[in-house]
Structures are given as C-alpha cells and as structure tokens.
Amino acid sequence: MTHAYYAIGLNLHQPFGNLVELMNRERWEAKQVVEAYGRIARYVQQGRPEARLHLALSGTLLMQLTDPGVRETFEHTYDLAWLLCDLGAAPIEFLGSGYTHPVFPLIPESDWDAQIGRYLEIARPALGRDWLPGFWPPEAGFCMEMIPYLRKFGYRYVVVDHEHVEPLEPMDWGRHRYRPHIARYGGEEIIVVPRDRELSAAQQSGFDPGWFAYELGERTKHCTDFPALVTLWTDGENGGWFRILDEDHGFWGWFYRPMLDWQRSGSLALSQVSINEYLDRFGAEGEVKVHRAAWNTGHHDGRGFVQWTGSLLQKRGLEELGRVSERYHARRWEIAQGPLNQPAHDQLDRAYWHILRAETSCNFYWGSVWVSRAFDDLETAERIIDGV
C-alpha cells in the first residue's frame, strides 16, 4: 500500500472588535469560540510526537488576543495570554495571512505591502516565531500578481484551492491535486500547495475517521511514484463540529485523536505532516498557474468572487475603497515631498488604519448587510485626510 501524507490546516478569524461584541451580546457564543481556540493547543500537545497542524490567525484576531482590554473582558472565561503561549509551544506550523483579513485580489495592490507586512509585525511576537514559512490568503483569494509580494516578505509556499490550479505541462489527476507545484510571476517564484476542495468541505461539516482513512487511501492509491500530500483547509472556529462542548463528538475527539492513535499503532499507511517538513524531504514539481479566484462558499465556487461582489452595494463599496485608498497614497506622497511633518504623518496613519479595516473580507461577504461598516471606516478616513 502506498504511504500518503496529509496536512490539516485551520483558519481562525474574528473581525476587529468582534470578540468583545460577542461577549457583550452573546456570552455563550463568545465562550464557545475561545474554548474552540483552547482545544487546538491541548489536542496537538497531547498528540505528540505524531501530531501536526497548520494554523493561520488573522491579524485582527491577533490584535484582540493581545489587547489588554480584551484579555480583561475574558479573564473569567478564558486566559487569552495563556492561550497564545500554549499555541506557540505546540507543534504547530503557523502561516501568515492578511492584517485585516482582506480578499487580496479585490483590494488595491498599493495596500498589499501593508496588509502582508503589518501582519508579520504583530504575528511574530504574538506567536513566538521569527519565520512563518507559508501563507494562507484570506478566503483563499489568490492571484498570480501576489507572488512577488509574498516572496518579498520571505514566504516559501502558499496554499490555494486546487480547482484554480492549471498545470502548464501534462499532469495526471493525482499529481495535480496531491503534489506541491511551482508558480512564477514577475521574475519570482513560489511553491503552490493545492487544497483538496471536497475533503476540506467534509472537514468543515464533520466526518468519521474510518471514512476519511478509506477516502484518502482511494484517492492516493495510484500515486505510486511520488509521495502524495493531501491538504485540507477550513475555518477552525465556525460550526458545531468545532464548537461542540462535548469534545468526544467534535473534530478533536471524534476525528483528530483517533487518527493519531491509528497512525501510532501502525495500522494506517497515512501520517500527518507539516507542509514545510514535506517540502524539505520531497520538494515540489511541475509548473502551474493559479487562476484569480477564492475558495468555494455556501453559494458560489469562488470564481469571480461573487460572494463578495454580487450586489450593487458590494461593488460600490469596493469602488469607494479603491478611490479612498488612492487618495490616501497621493496625500502621503505629497506630504513626504516637503519638510518633516510628523503630526501630518500621524494623522495619515490613523486614516490608513480605517482604510485597511474597511478592506476586511467580512464587510463584503454577507451580501449588502455589512458593507455599511466599510463605508463608515472610509468616511472616517476621508475626514482625517481632509484635516491634514
């Protein structure tokens, strides 16, 4: 039987201010969310030495977990400082992401540096890592133009949805899905790790470990001349499968722990692996291009970003985002041409924070419901720019 490797990834995200808002409005839901975070480190620690996991925490979530005020709000529910310490001490491969969790192809390219660079400024000390080897694009929203930016900030690989990966040379089905590849753009290259869409959907909704082991065996049985890497990636705090308080019937107790037990017993030709460890051992092969798209949502397959652009108000919000961002960058450049004016730069920094927060994917995900949040931030940014 061919031995295969599988890499489990979880995306954790809360819009800025949402944890305290949940605590004030739906305390039971806030408790479920932070306890879902707490299980992660505990089960991965208990699963040593076989356990592996990949985590991408959004920048806005890290801002809240490191905020003294938020920690005080949760002090009688969960110790958020210890939570980050426990995650940092576990055998977890952390991936970088966006500062405010934007869909990168939908925001101005002039803001990509800030979204990637500011994320690392907060993530490195919070997670206790000097280097994050991989990048998880929020909502798996990726385009080839991002490659030079990711390489600039030191990323080795990026996870994308396999549906949007197109080989530039003949490649069989198994190799297409279950081998990392190389993508090139603008004189730079990065390793592309395909996310299996169907198995990821199953991971989000819940499955039996026996079914999973059988399904992986069937999907990789023809991968005889290369080591298959099956990558699953979902949200890690949404849905009852991750939030359920009866842990023996949730993701960690029902699936994750039994899979490690079977691996430990030698009864499976499967083992968990970190993506970086896999790349060190087996590398990548074949050149591909990745089409501009996101992962599948409940109603759309990710092409065209319809989930974030389907309504007139969503489109209008993204247009305003581009306009205000362009105005900010132009004003910043004008101020930089004259003598040092620190108060003006400080004001523009405040304006830019509101622009970056307006780019949060959640503002556009829920149809027209949350777009007003983006407009509010953009109006605040414009008032600040007017006063500079």
What is the average pLDDT across 40-67?
96
User: Over 80: is that where the pLDDT of 103 sits?
Assistant: yes
What is the average pLDDT across 328-343?
93
Q: Which residues contact 377 (CB under 8 A, 6 or more apart)?
A: 354, 355, 357, 358
What is the average pLDDT across 73-89?
94
pLDDT single digits (tens) 295-316: 998 778 999 999 999 999 999 9
The pLDDT value given to residue 367: 86
Give the residues across from 16 on adjacent strands.
none
pLDDT single digits (tens) 175-215: 999 999 999 999 999 999 999 999 999 999 999 999 999 99
The domains of the chain are located at 4-290, 310-386
Strand pairing class (288-290; 165-167): antiparallel
User: Over 60: is that where the pLDDT of 346 sits?
Assistant: yes
User: Over 80: is that where the pLDDT of 1 sits?
Assistant: no
User: Over 60: is that where the pLDDT of 330 sits?
Assistant: yes
As a whole number, the mean pLDDT across the chain is 95
What is the average pLDDT across 326-330?
98
Instruction: Give CATH for domain 4-290.
Output: 3.20.110.20
User: Over 60: is that where the pLDDT of 149 sits?
Assistant: yes
What is the average pLDDT across 364-368?
91
Tokens representing 290 are 């990745």
The pLDDT value given to residue 299: 79
Percentage, residues of the chain above pLDDT 90: 92
What is the average pLDDT across 159-164?
97
d(CA 302, CA 285): 25
The pLDDT value given to residue 105: 98
Q: What is the reported pTM? A: 0.96
Phi and psi angles of residue 218, each rounded to the nearest 5 degrees, phi first? -70, -40
User: Over 60: is that where the pLDDT of 326 sits?
Assistant: yes
The pLDDT value given to residue 2: 74
